[in-house]
Amino acid sequence: MTSYNAASVVLLLPLLSAFFILVLGRTVGTTVSKMISVGSAALCFVVSVATLGVTNDSGVLVSFLNVGKLHADIGFIIDQQSRGMLFIVTFIGLLVHVYSLGYMKEDKAQSRYFGSLSMFMFSMTGIVLADNFAMMFMFWELVGLSSYLLIGHWFEKPEACEASKKAFLTNRIGDFGFMIGILTLWAASNGELGFAQLRESLSGGSVSGPLHSAPAWVLTVAAIGIFMGAVGKSAQAPLHVWLPDAMEGPTPVSALIHAATMVAAGVYMLVRVSFVIAASETAMHLIAGVGGFTALFAALMAVQQNDIKRILAYSTLSQLGYMVMAVGLQAGEAGMFHLYTHAFFKALLFLGSGAVIYACHHEQDIWKMGGLSKKTPITFLTFVIGTAALMGIPGLSGFFSKEEILGAAYHDCGWLFTAAAFTALLTSFYMSRCVIVAFFGKARSENADHAHEAPLIMTAPLMLLSIFAIASGYGFFSDRLQAMVPHAEHGEGHYLVMGVSIAAVVIGAGLAFFLYNGKDKDPLNIKLFANRFYIDEIYAVIVKVFQDRLAWIVSGLESIFADGLVARLPAAIACRVGKTARAIQSGHLQGYTFALGAGLILAIYLVVQVLPKH
Amino acid sequence: MGLLELLIFIPLLAAALIGAGLPGKVIARSAAALNLLLVLAAISQFNAGNTLAHSYPILDNPAIAFAVKADGLSLTMALLTSLVLIAANCQIGEGKPAIYYVSSLLIAGGAMGAFLCTDIFFLYGFHELALIPTLLMIAIHGHGDATNRRAIAWKITVYLGVGSLILLAGLAALVVALKPASGLTFDLAALMQSAKDHPLPAATQAWIFTALLVGFGTLVSLFPFHSWAAPAYATAPTPVAMLHSGVLKKFGLYGLIRIALPLLPLGAKHECVQQALLWMLIGNIIVIGLVTIHQQKLDTLLGNSSVMHMGYIFLGIAAGTQVAINGAIILMFAHGISIALLFALCGRMRNQLGTLEFSKLGGLAANAPFLTVMFAFGTFASIGLPGLANFAGEVMVFLGAFDSNINDGFKLIHWATILGLWGVVMSAVYMLRAYRNLFFGKAASGHFMSDPVITQRVSLVLLAGVLLVVGCCPGLITGLLKDLTIAAP
Amino acid sequence: MPSVLFYLFAAITLLFGVGVVVARNPVASALSLVCSFTGLAALFISLDAYFIGTLQILVYAGAVMVLFLFIIMLLDIKAAEGRQTNYATAVGGLLLAVLFTVQIAMVLGDFKEGNKTLADQTLNLGAAASKTSLNTIKDELAEGTLPDAKLMGFTLFDKYPFQLQVVGLLLLAGTVGVVVLSKRDRGGKEEVS
Amino acid sequence: MITLNDYLLVAGILFAIGLAGVVVRRNIIVIYMCLEMMLSAANLTLVAFSRFHLVDGAPDYAAQSLVFFTITVAAAEVAVGLAIIVALFRAKQSVDVESVTKLKG
């Protein structure tokens, strides 16, 4: 299994299955299309496990564009980062496919759902294997498209359509910045798009290194542009609004896309092109700042959410903030390690919440659940394991990776570390709040009362994932699975960081237990957090004023100026001239003869006086 | 009678036959299909190195000859014409009078002639031939009430008439200025040769280029001269809207790339011409983008969006580098197909639903899945989604425009590209908003949309398939354009 | 031809010309035109153009003016009632006339040949005699008299025979036209505008 | 002594009077008469030039033959003109120039 065949299978198999379902899905029936989609996911997983042992390699699958200076092609890089990510994507993808078989059993458009899932697998593997910016950008937008299709799966629900449109447009705004970054790099490096060539051109090693000599502002613009792409995709601070709304989609979708893989693509890309970001100081500070801010900001909002999926969505935002902060602090490996562990326990939590919702007949509000620990024991157990890993309880995977990031923050700048520590505290607070309210106490609605355990096909992935949630932090697993574990050169503050993170977990959990144990109503009532800092409303106003109102004004002006000046004005002038010209034919013979005489005299004057002079 | 002459005269002959009374449907569709096969044959011949050039001299003092020559650019456009012709003919419903077929065949034949001829005289003549049926059809069979329809037909006639006149003046000046020793000639190759031997001074090149730009710009709805386009497409009958916005509008751009750039290399690069063009295309993208966002009906939205997409192609032409020009050509091809597909669907929906107001429609996807998928192809193609043809064009245009050195600050062309990128976001906004309002959400009362019958679907699937094929491997078209003679930047 | 007669006839022509314009009654203006033509004929005679002079009297003063009077009587046109000739055209016309005369005067001012007087243009009939081929004219020229009518006839029929035919045809067409025009169309309704 | 300029001046004035008449008067017949005056003024210039420009001793009869032709043409013209005036009068019952405005723009 050479790396070339592996890459092409992993990339093209989901595309073929998606295309097959699109074209023949209707004729061949949902069961066959489901089988094809799950089969392709399984095969990809097997192939990606096979590539775990393969040596680093990169090459070109198919040449996409080859015009003059431009050489954009679909290539692949197999190195530790892509192998680890490939494993996550295909493993969690497979689990979500299997889980969806159960979750979406009575949905009426299953073939379209599985087609979109295969489409997503194709685009995500594309991002993972990408070896140049053109390919990265292409799959960037294809991932946006598949998330649009999946979020808007139940298109009858207006909220789902709005959410999918919002997701696509926010991603597109991120891509706007991403493209500017790519174009700046393309112009500064005189036509290079490949990561290897750009790194070489930046390092100024070979003679073709114009990027090395590019002025600082060009590199900063490029780095910030590329970071904007990650902001759009990984839902960082300004463009985070689409992720909580994306919960309108089916839960397995949220698990796969909005927890483990797609949102992580931003961080993956940043680590992949870290040499560009390293080249510009200001960009690094900006990235670290945005990451830290998003982590804190999302954690604050998560505290007051009542919908179980929204709590997890905000926690994903917060964890992504951590990873981006790590990248900003030049600790890319820590970011990747956290991404790696986070993928497992967040997917576990989302699938767990799916099982809970399935059990309570599509009830999502935690205040209407309660006492589920007795009714759905397996879901409860796996959910608690996931929560523990997320909170960072020592011994589980979350602890190791989060601690790395806190260490990096500690070494770099003080207030980022405090923000990160406070976010850790908030994380354990809202997660334990969620567990206590949802699983302990007594059932608060008849749905919760006669909830029943999810079928095996849904609980099996949960159990498998909980094993990984526990084990993925330890060396044995992570080395085997090519996770990018930062080599632990524990600086002097290591134990202080360890202590602070453990303390944060304990305080958070204790506070939540104290506040929420046995309560039927949310004692805390912070309007600001619950309404998500009113950001959605602010964005709505911005869109309304800057886009719709401006569009109305501009279209008015355009019809006055462009249409008026260029079309209607000459027409009006022509009519006016026409009317005045008519007056000359007034019908008065005397007028005509007078004009005749005047013309005669003028002619004589010209002939006699003027002509001889010239 | 070579392959290319057949390509031009089959549609015209078919139009004549239908005019003479033979059954329109059969002849039109067979002519269109035959045309497509011939184009594919011509492309394979061209790849095998045979440029199928024939010349039938008509006059020798001003050397006019009906000369045709196969070239990457003209074959791409010929392929676009034949594809859109098939789709347009299939969109003509049952009871429609024969003039629908005659007009669409005439437009296609004229466009084919304009794209394949290498003699400026015939190039201009065929374009005018193609323009006339468009204007007539809008006046006679347009949508909307009679007075409004006639007013718009009048406006477009006068507008394009003036545009063509300015163009004629520019071409005349060009032909006279580049008069080789052997006397006045309209033949492009000879003019090219004489442009090389004794290039014109920069100033004359600049003002001739401006005249050509304004002339071609009006035909292509460049920003200040665009106000004829949106209402015309909104009221034009479906096949005419498809053919004009998809094919005929590209004549202006084809002319710029075929005539203006090679013959007047300094003209395009002249400082104030470049600035003016850039400001105009920024107007095209941003102003018309905002206007499109404001539209409340599907047909005016599509009309305006096709005006806006011209901005990108002009950006490619303004940049002038090989990457940008190839991108512009692919974008012309891709936009032609995608806008034709969208107008076909829009026409179909107008016939069945009666209204195209976003506020009145919704939830059509529930019982028209095929249409939803096709509209998705059209929407995502026009947004520039990778994997569909527009993306390859747009990305090459943007890369080509950013080709110049940026170390000493962003120049106007860089800002134009960035605004173009924001235009892509805007186009995503209005297309997705339209797509969501029409197809998703609650089904509006009384509006019921059913899927087209199988035979109707073939042409739509053909267009969508072409978008997908060219999108996945744009090498097919860039391969044709390898040896395109573009003035070096 | 003593110069005083020239001034007399010039004055007659011009004054009666003004009379034509100023006269209220069309008959009066017609008659003053006749006098003006006779004055003009006299001027022709003073220029030794006897044939043209008589022709002027015969055709213009005679035939044309008679036709005018006939039409005036036929149409029974009364004097222009309501003398409100609008002053704009009156002033305009006068201005035109004055300007024209000024221009003619200026042109004549620097027209050098114009200063040749009648006297120094003495006819050298002897030389003319030797040139013509017709002996009748030759004899009269030899005698020193100017056979104006004969010379006129000679030039007309020698140099412009074709033009004469054409003019004849023109007159014929003119008369036919007049007949058609003045025929009262029986059936057609009177076209009253 | 009388010079050529005197004759030309007289012709010029006569022409000017005719022109003024045509413009000022509103009665078509009088206009017509002034027209004849303008014509005869032209004849006067022709005869003057023929007398003052001697061809081998005798006056230049080419000019005078031109005068002969103008007179004949004028005669034909007067006939036709008056016929038109009669037809006009029959249609409009007036010879005033103001009444004839049918061909207004």
**Band (A119; pLDDT cuts 50, 70, 90):** very high
What's the pLDDT band for C121 if we cut at 50, 70, 90?
low
CB atoms < 10 A from the CB of C112, how many? 6
Closest by Cβ to D30, choosing from C29, C49, C171: C29
Interchain CB contact of C96 with A (< 8 Å): yes
Contact between B221 and B249 under an 8 Å Cβ cutoff? The reply is yes
Angle at A293 between CA A505 and CA A278, to 5 degrees: 110
Instruction: Closest CB to C117: pick one of D1, D12, D19.
Output: D1
Which residues in chain A have their CB less than 8 angstroms from residue D104's CB?
585-587
Among D23, D104, D105, the residue with its CB nearest the CB of A594 is D23
Place of tokens 């991120």: A174
Is the CB of C156 inside 8 Å of chain D's CB atoms? yes
Put simply, whether C26 touches D (Cβ < 8 Å) is yes
| C69 interfaces chain D, CB cutoff of 8 Å | no
Burial pattern A415-434, b for ≥16 Cβ within 10 A else e, equals ebbebbbbbbbbbbbbbbbb
Helix (H) or strand (E) holding B302: helix B298-319
C81: pLDDT strictly greater than 60: no
Say yes or no to pLDDT of C82 above 60: no
pLDDT confidence band for A481 (50 / 70 / 90): low
Q: Residue A208 — very low, low, confident or very high, per pLDDT cuts 50/70/90?
A: low
Q: Distance between CA atoms of A536 and A525, rounded to whole angstroms?
A: 19
What is this structure's pTM? 0.83
Interchain contact, A183 vs B398, CB within 8 Å: yes
The pLDDT value given to residue B476: 86
Name chain D contacts of A589, Cβ cutoff 8 Å. 97, 100
pLDDT confidence bin for B302, thresholds 50/70/90:
very high
Which structure tokens are listed for A184? 């700046």
Q: Would you place residue D56 in the very low, low, confident or very high pLDDT band (cuts 50, 70, 90)?
A: confident
Closest approach of A173 to chain B, Cα-based (Å): 6
Percent pLDDT > 70 in chain B is 98
Residue A388 neighbours by CB under 8 Å, 6+ apart: A396, A398
A592: closest CA of chain D, how far (Å)? 9
pLDDT at residue A123 greater than cutoff 90: yes
Strand B54-59 relative to strand B64-68, pairing: antiparallel
Q: How far is C98 from chain A (nearest CA, A)?
A: 11
Partner A contacted by C168 (CB < 8 A): no
Task: Indicate yes or no: CB of A584 within 8 angstroms of CB of D105.
Answer: yes
Q: Show the beta-strand stretches assigned E in A357-493.
A: none
Q: Which fold has domain C1-78?
A: Four Helix Bundle (Hemerythrin (Met), subunit A) (1.20.120)
Percent of the residues in chain A that have a pLDDT greater than 70, as a whole number: 96
**Does an H or E element contain A64, and which?**
strand A57-67
* Total H helices, total E strands in chain A: 29, 2
- Strands B64-68 and A57-67, bridge-based pairing: unpaired
Touch of A by B (3+ CB pairs closer than 8 Å): yes
Q: Supply the pLDDT for residue B146.
A: 85
Instruction: Specify the CATH number for the domain of residue D29.
Output: 1.10.287.3510
At residue D89, the pLDDT reads 86
pLDDT over 60 (residue A468): yes
Q: Quote the domain boundaries for residue D87.
A: 4-101
- Alpha carbon distances (Å) from B398 to A70, A295, B418, B430, C177: 12, 35, 9, 21, 80
**Hey, is the C-beta of C90 within 8 angstroms of any chain A C-beta?**
no
Q: Does D38 touch chain A (CB under 8 A)?
A: no
> Where are chain C's structural domains?
1-78
> Coil, strand, or helix at residue B187?
strand
What is the rounded end-to-end Cα distance, in angstroms, of chain A?
A: 95
- Beta-carbon separation of A594 and C99 below 8 A: no
Could you give the CA distance from residue A569 to residue A559 in angstroms, rounded to a whole number?
12
Lowest mean pLDDT among A365-369, A485-489, A610-614: A485-489
Give B193-221 pLDDT, tens digit per residue. 888 888 888 888 999 999 999 999 999 98
Residue count (chain A): 614
Among A112-121, C125-134, D8-17, D39-48, the minimum mean pLDDT is found in: C125-134
Lowest-confidence range among A16-20, B89-93, D14-18?
B89-93
The overall average pLDDT reported for chain C is: 83
CB B210 within 8 A of CB B225: no
Nearest CA-CA partner of B326 in A138, A183, A67, A187 = A67
Does pLDDT of D31 surpass 60? yes
Distance CA A179, CA A174 (A): 9
pLDDT for the residue B485: 64
Please name every residue paired with B220 in a beta bridge, in sequence order, or none if there are none: none
Residue A185 has pLDDT above 60, yes or no: yes
Domains in chain D, number:
1
Q: Do A587 and D23 touch (CB under 8 A)?
A: no
Distance separating alpha carbons of residues B415 and A555, to the nearest angstrom: 23
Weakest-pLDDT range from B66-75, C29-38, C69-78: C69-78
Residues of C in contact with D18 (CB under 8 A): 17
State the Cα–Cα distance between residues A174 and A234, nearest whole angstrom: 10
Q: Are strands A57-67 and A70-78 parallel, antiparallel or unpaired?
A: antiparallel
pLDDT of the residue at B489: 41
Chain C, nearest residue to D84 by Cα: C181
The pLDDT of residue B488: 44
The yes-or-no reply on B/D contact (3 CB pairs or more, < 8 Å) is no
Least confident of A23-37, B358-372, C136-150: C136-150
Closest CA–CA distance from residue A553 to any residue of chain B (Å): 9
C interface mutation test: which of D8, D26, D29, D97 has the most C CBs within 10 A?
Answer: D29
To the nearest whole number, what is the mean pLDDT of chain A?
86
Q: What is the per-residue pLDDT across A558-578, written as a single tens digit (0 to 9) for each?
A: 888 888 888 888 888 988 998
Dihedral sign, Cα of residue A327, residue A332, residue A336, residue A341: negative
Judged by CB atoms closer than 8 Å, whether chains meet at A593 and D102 is answered as: no
Q: How far apart are the first and last CA of chain C?
A: 55
Among A484-498, B61-75, B251-265, D25-39, which is the least confidently predicted range?
A: A484-498
- Of all residues in chain C, what percent are helix, strand and coil, respectively (each to 5)? 75, 0, 25
Q: Do B386 and A155 make contact, defined as CB atoms within 8 angstroms? A: no
Please judge whether A594 and C93 are an interchain contact, meaning their C-beta atoms are less than 8 angstroms apart. Answer: yes
Q: What percentage of chain A exceeds 90 in pLDDT? A: 25
The β-bridge partners of B66 are B56
Which residues are within 8 A (CB) of A51 and not within 5 positions of it... i.e. 6 or more apart?
A1, A3, A6, A7, A10, A78, A83, A86
Q: Which of D17, D22, D71 sits opposite C14 (nearest CB)?
A: D17
Mean pLDDT, residues B110-120: 92
Angle at A350 between CA A346 and CA A351, to 5 degrees: 115
Give the mean pLDDT of chain B.
89
Neighbours of chain A (3+ CB pairs under 8 A): B, C, D
pLDDT, position A24: 85
CB contact under 8 A, C96 and A594: yes
Closest Cβ opposite residue D89 in set C13, C75, C127:
C75
Whether chain C lies against chain A with 3 or more Cβ pairs closer than 8 A is yes
Question: Which among A590, A592, A601, A602 is the top mutation candidate for probing chain D, defined by the most D β-carbons within 10 Å of its own β-carbon?
Answer: A590
Q: Which long-range contacts (CB under 8 A, 24 or more apart) does B241-244 make?
A: B241/B299, B241/B303, B241/B343, B241/B347, B242/B84, B242/B87, B242/B88, B242/B91, B242/B339, B242/B340, B242/B343, B242/B344, B242/B347, B243/B84, B243/B85, B243/B88, B243/B104, B243/B107, B243/B108, B243/B111, B243/B134, B243/B340, B244/B107, B244/B134
Give the pLDDT confidence of B40-65 residue by residue, as tens digits: 999 998 888 888 888 888 888 888 88
pLDDT for A569 equals: 86
Q: Tell me the average pLDDT across B415-429.
A: 93
Residue of chain A whose Cα is closest to the Cα of C91: A594
Ramachandran angles phi, psi of A98, nearest 5°: -65, -45
Q: Which stretch of A65-74, A229-238, A515-524 has the lowest confidence by average pLDDT? A: A515-524
pLDDT of residue C193: 45
- Average of per-residue pLDDT across B19-29: 87
Q: Express as a percent the part of chain C with pLDDT over 90.
A: 33
Distance CA C121, CA C47 (A): 11
Contact B188, B143 (CB under 8 A): no
Q: How confident is the model at residue A205 (pLDDT cuts 50, 70, 90)?
A: low
pLDDT at C37 (0 to 100): 94
Instruction: Tell which residue, B263, B215, B445, B459, has the closest CA to residue B348.
Output: B459
Interface probe with A: pick from C85, C98, C99, most Cβ of A within 10 Å: C99
